Amino acid sequence: MIHRKITAVVMILLATCTVANAQISLKGLKEKAQNATKKIENAAGKTGVTAASKGKTFYVSASTGSARADGLTPSTAMKDLQKAIDAAEDNDQILVAEGNYLGNMDRGYIQVGQFGNAQSDRGKFISIYGGYSTDFSERDVIGHVTKLQPTSQSFTAPLFNFNARRPYGYNGPVGNVVIDGLVFDLGENNVYCVANVDDERTGTPNAGVLTGRILNNGESPAVPTVGYMKGDEYGLHMDVEGNVRISNCIFVNCRDYGIAALMGKGHMEICNNIFIACKYAACQVRGNTNEADIDKVSLDFHHNTVLFTWTRTKTFEDMGQGFRFMNGIRTIDVHNNIFGCNSNCGVERVYYESNKSVEALKESNLYDNYFFGNKRDLEIAASGAATISVPASRIEEAEQIGPKYEGNRELPASEEDFLRAIDQPYLQGFMNLEIISSQSYDANSFANQVNRIFGMNQQGSEIVRPNMYGNKYPWEKAKDLFGKVKGYGAQMPR
């Protein structure tokens, strides 16, 4: 039996926690999160690229829009987000009202360019902003929720695929890519065991968790299930370049990464998002350029809340990272985030450039972050060992991190509002996470009788049953995590 213990501060606070209804409205964020337009302009200068001019504005409303409208004014809003994307051109922006958007004819997914085909289908440089009221008179991403939340669809594609590339050798102005104020939720579509605390096969840790454990391809336990899809599909997949920002979004119950991106020349900023109950990893961004252009690629991951990232399978043998430092990017800054209760590690730094001179120039900055309840806060690679686990208090000793490494620490005990905002049954279930393994051997089984005749090895079976694994998190409660810790994690969207 393996028993997962959450840090003492969480256990102490959990005993006195009740769900908090109040949200803290914070006056300040760092300049990067306060002024998105200025950030994009700064990013253009940082990477040596020239931003393109602004284009048209399209309006989309699932409840008040029309299928045949042109979408160019609030009163002639389109109904279908995919139709607006198809109509848009480089440098256009799309404003999206509250509602659930499922793609053309409710197929379940949205795309800018074809998935896996960015070389021939380069997509377009557009900006998408959710969180508008149906008349577009106000914007509040918490009060006017814009969702991508399939409910009964079967599809083989990312929930949202976004291509934005230029032809090889292009040196002109690049466009902006913005995704702001969307909820990515696969919880209504994933296949889960029906919750049953009396049947250990279901992986139900307590009566308050919405479902039993998530099911992967090839699994068919003899218990009732709910949902439609077992396949591994990304929440948001991107193959992009230029000036890219992903902000004020929620990625919840994504069964194969919250964000999985390929980044060409330019700067990507991922800020003020909530990642919760995703599998594989919450966020992974790889560089996608020639080696000579790696110095033109940068990534800033800041003010995000990253909780409950789950491993690839129920046996907990691999994956399960909150954020991954990947190759092909010269400068990565990871700061002012909260990494909590990730089943493998909050942050991973195990990949190295094959060219040692390129590796020596990389900047892998990890500073001013809060950690709690992770199996590992930081995981690094080392010769002679598979990996090394580094607690937050010792990150400065990890030579793979830097030149910025200061200010990483455990979540302070005073941050009770944040812990109370987490769904309490889910947090309690994770605190009591157990993985039970059992083995059996039947000498008289047909397989073992045949194996003895031919002098082959005998066979047994092993059953692995976690009491919690990838269970559905209530997406509505993910919204409660905005603005709970001043200066760290996702702040109140502005």
Residue 172: the pLDDT is 78
Residue 472: the pLDDT is 98
Q: Is 121 exposed, middle or buried (0-12, 13-18, 19+ CB in 10 A)?
A: middle
Distance (Å) of CA 272 to CA 10, 99, 370, 479: 23, 21, 15, 12
The 10s digit of each residue's pLDDT in 411-436 is: 999 999 999 999 999 999 999 999 88
Distance of CA 376 to the CA centre of its chain: 18
For the cut 60, the answer to whether the pLDDT of residue 29 exceeds it is: no
DSSP 48-84: T--BPPP--EEEE-TTT-BTT---SSGGG-BS-HHHH
Find the farthest-apart pair of alpha carbons in the chain and give their distance in angstroms, rounded: 79
Residue 384: the pLDDT is 66
Alpha-helical regions (H) of 121-178: none
CA distance 187 to 214: 10
Three-state DSSP state, 402: strand
pLDDT band at 42 (very low <50, low <70, confident <90, very high): very low
For the cut 60, the answer to whether the pLDDT of residue 325 exceeds it is: yes
The 10s digit of each residue's pLDDT in 133-163 is: 999 999 999 999 999 999 998 888 899 999 9
Residue 98: which residues within 8 A CB-CB, separation 6 or more? 62, 63, 130, 131, 132, 133, 134, 144, 145, 146
Residue 290: the pLDDT is 93
For the cut 50, the answer to whether the pLDDT of residue 127 exceeds it is: yes
* Average of per-residue pLDDT values in the chain: 88
For the cut 80, the answer to whether the pLDDT of residue 487 exceeds it is: yes
* Angle between helical axes of 8-15 and 424-431 (0-180°, round to 10): 140
Best CA proximity match to 465, nearest among 485, 426, 493, 438:
438
CA distance 55 to 28: 30
For the cut 60, the answer to whether the pLDDT of residue 2 exceeds it is: no
8 Å CB contact between 225 and 195: no
Q: Which of 189-203, 273-287, 445-459 has the lowest mean pLDDT?
A: 445-459
For the cut 70, the answer to whether the pLDDT of residue 441 exceeds it is: no
Residue 494: the pLDDT is 82
pLDDT band at 53 (very low <50, low <70, confident <90, very high): low
Q: Which of 23-37, 168-182, 248-262 has the lowest mean pLDDT?
A: 23-37
Best CA proximity match to 308, nearest among 180, 429, 389:
429
pLDDT band at 447 (very low <50, low <70, confident <90, very high): low
Residue 464: the pLDDT is 78
